[in-house]
Structure 1
């Protein structure tokens, strides 16, 4: 049976996901079979496994770092917020229904057997499970029937490392306060603390570390610097939305929708030196971009109305009329159509007129489409004509069914061996394109083709475009993360915690 270690945090956004990913990579490098686990994740960035099941992308990142295939056992419960007080509840990759926060709070204890079954399946396959908590274990209002922090640690008997974020200030109060609010048996589980996101001279920090150890009786097992790495973060807390562009040859705008989902679709474009990718949520920041990308949304109709009201829709329509590229994925694809109908009240009910840039109509239905996709671009015209025949892989995850009223499909869906299935996806009209396929730009053929097309339309020499292997790029980032953690964490101590578990003395 696998040994375990759990990373909990003093609050959200302390870097738990990245620390778990880095430990997974270190353990893998050291020859261990390792898997991540997070019993309950709240995120709008999700992924479809090879079995057609849905899970959070943070655990996908961690599985990649561990060198294994993602499995819903690594994230048995996924909550996808639909409103400020309600979420779609996904259990073992399947949608159950949308619940209010209070209803889920009352019901979550019922999921404990399923959570433990998923965990035990991983235990049978791996040497070590690196577990991620959620938010803080000291949230008094959430501790009853906890299934993701100390409650889970008790259920699987996991030792805990508690991480705090010094970049946001007050890290000593964070850590001491969290430990003080834990019950005695919970404090016994905390075998070490981690100061994360540090900038500056560690020498100046030493008196504080000594005080922290004296005050808590728990070793500080590392001070991790603020890392400038390109690794997927928890979607609601990402810093990429604050980027204001760069020195790229072309300016790319991604619409930052209020309920934006799967914006990781654009990660392969963000690190291209030829492009400056920025996220825009107001008409005043739109500028004069060379291309506009519209991402997925957990509430397509409400987000379209939001763009209509704040002037962004008008900006996109004028951009399209100027002959420049517009590309929509999933919810963004639906918005570009002529009409969206919601007879079953999957979102807000009724109907809404789309932007009218693509000849499609979408009807929302209760059943969610979830599938892995292999395909290629068909006979594509316009700005992206150079993508014709380019191969891609990705996944569909949406509630609507879209009908092409006229024109040509954008993509041909294939079997893994590139055999035609007769199925198609997406469409194009003039300089406007759209499809349902998440991860479409992960393909070097597609991302290279998009970069060349945008530069060519701008009159820039496309000989400057250099092919980039995105998977190799991600592997390099995981290795850099592992190097940084090895340098700044006491890995000998952490290995001792993993080996001894709760037998490890809990005080200095």
Structure 2
């Protein structure tokens, strides 16, 4: 098997992004390559062409490899629904909701699914780049491990360990990780990479030399820290704390169970546009557009809004005629009520929404997972020329929304269903369409309306797909310059 696996000393050390980098580098070199992560825990997910749900990180990696994402790249996705439980997605479909203890006891029975998914990929591609999760040194989780060394054993993969020097103590974290492994597991580690380095590498070199005397494991690269506008894996992203300094500020509610914040990555590529994740009442100050994002637990996030200062900020923004858009769970929260009599998300039977749209939502046990295309049915005042505009994206939701009163449907889908709703004043709308801002023309209309209000230049035109691809090239070029690629290829082919 031609494969290689990135494992890390901890979460957020750069496993996902370096997997994407190697996928693009190998593809650039004419090698057929695909990513694989057996188990991913994240609230960011995606729907494939055949209606299967998978983690966004593997979508990014597939895009970097210039291939279509398929559920075999991520056969198990865990979507947290509480501090101790998750919805388990197996092969793209809901398996069941499980607490951590029950899932831990179930993992051994999932190995066959993992190996089957891996073998399907391995039969189609020359090289598989695997990604671990967290750290292999989490010794309390080693029994029935299916994502780190347990996964490496299943497919006999060599391992490169990644350490994050930006956190501090990188040599200690690498050393400690290796020493906590079993002797046979240590043999799998063929080298390590130091990630997110700032400064002069010559100053670091003596440490690398001394480290080799302690552990005869070679350093295969030191990757400089460089901000990249590429989707993050999950809610541990650093982007939530970035300062919003653009001429235009897109406000996004920072909710406890927020999902698919990747819906807003595209705004970060727009010149002069910043995204601010709103946690407090004062964070609403100066925003030009307010977005209520998707949620893995809509009723609990709605309860959080009612019990926090966010509610007052939302109503103040509405009174000040700031456009408000709700995506998926955010769409449901804009309505009058959300009911969950079947206990799909929570034991809470019903909760009042924000009342900014005349709609009501009833939770259902069947999850809608579909890639969709449609046309906007009317002109949105804060998105001129939007009438009949074609948009596409994907649905991931468990619930049916009913329009009432003066609410008007927003989008006619290709299967003749209607999606979304807009209020009578047409300054609040909601949709189930994830990725709606990725549509270049609609996003331009929304931003140009804000630019005109603020006297800014409206000649900005970006092709999101092209810019996203350029970021993958930028990542690949950065990593290629700072790793021992020939040694890594030798590990892949001659391990």
C-alpha distance in 2 between matches for 1:4 and 1:46: 25
Tell me how far 1:459 sits from its aligned partner: 4.4
Partner residue in 2 for 1:291: 289
C-alpha distance in 1 between matches for 2:380 and 2:3: 53
Deviation string 1:447-488 (CA, Å, 9 cap, x unpaired) is 1111112223x2425x53311001101110111111111100
What's the secondary structure of 2:27's corresponding residue? helix
> Do the aligned partners of 2:232 and 2:262 also contact (CA within 8 Å) in 1?
no
- Equivalent positions of 1:7-156 (< 5 A) are 7-156=6-155
What's the secondary structure of 2:78's corresponding residue? strand
- TM-score, structure 2 length as denominator? 0.97
Partner residue in 1 for 2:254: 256
> Do the aligned partners of 2:384 and 2:445 also contact (CA within 8 Å) in 1?
no
What's the secondary structure of 1:90's corresponding residue? strand
Determine if the alignment matches structure 1 residue 437 to structure 2 residue 415.
no
Q: 2:316 aligns with which of 312, 315, 318?
A: 318
C-alpha distance in 2 between matches for 1:270 and 1:485: 22
Partner residue in 2 for 1:427: 421
C-alpha distance in 1 between matches for 2:380 and 2:11: 46
Partner residue in 1 for 2:369: 370
Partner residue in 1 for 2:386: 387
> Do the aligned partners of 2:382 and 2:445 also contact (CA within 8 Å) in 1?
no
> Do the aligned partners of 1:52 and 1:370 also contact (CA within 8 Å) in 2?
yes
> Do the aligned partners of 1:340 and 1:351 also contact (CA within 8 Å) in 2?
yes
Partner residue in 1 for 2:444: 448
Partner residue in 1 for 2:481: 487
What's the secondary structure of 2:151's corresponding residue? helix
Deviation string 1:194-218 (CA, Å, 9 cap, x unpaired) is 0011001111101110112111111
> Do the aligned partners of 1:255 and 1:295 also contact (CA within 8 Å) in 2?
yes
* 302-311 vs 139-148, greater mean Cα deviation: 302-311
What's the secondary structure of 2:446's corresponding residue? helix
> Do the aligned partners of 2:244 and 2:274 also contact (CA within 8 Å) in 1?
yes
* 310-319 vs 325-334, greater mean Cα deviation: 310-319
What root-mean-square deviation, in Å, do the aligned CA atoms of Structure 1 and Structure 2 show? 1.1
Unmatched 5+ stretches in structure 1: 415-420, 502-508
Deviation string 1:343-388 (CA, Å, 9 cap, x unpaired) is 0011223111111111110000111111101012111343234322
C-alpha distance in 2 between matches for 1:286 and 1:116: 48
Q: 1:469 to 1:370 in 2, by over 3 A?
A: same
> Do the aligned partners of 2:384 and 2:446 also contact (CA within 8 Å) in 1?
no
> Do the aligned partners of 2:137 and 2:181 also contact (CA within 8 Å) in 1?
yes
C-alpha distance in 1 between matches for 2:186 and 2:17: 24
Partner residue in 2 for 1:418: none
Partner residue in 1 for 2:208: 209
Partner residue in 2 for 1:231: 230
Partner residue in 1 for 2:455: 460
Determine if the alignment matches structure 1 residue 472 to structure 2 residue 466.
yes
Partner residue in 2 for 1:308: 306
Deviation string 1:135-189 (CA, Å, 9 cap, x unpaired) is 0001110000110000110110000000000000010000111111111100100
What's the secondary structure of 1:386's corresponding residue? coil
What's the secondary structure of 2:410's corresponding residue? strand
C-alpha distance in 1 between matches for 2:108 and 2:322: 52
Q: 1:246 to 1:288 in 2, by over 3 A?
A: closer
> Do the aligned partners of 1:340 and 1:353 also contact (CA within 8 Å) in 2?
yes
- TM-score, structure 1 length as denominator? 0.95
- Equivalent positions of 1:350-365 (< 5 A) are 350-365=349-364
C-alpha distance in 1 between matches for 2:455 and 2:69: 40
C-alpha distance in 2 between matches for 1:496 and 1:57: 29
Tell me how far 1:422 sits from its aligned partner: 2.3
- Equivalent positions of 1:148-187 (< 5 A) are 148-187=147-186
* 252-261 vs 33-42, greater mean Cα deviation: 252-261
C-alpha distance in 2 between matches for 1:484 and 1:197: 12
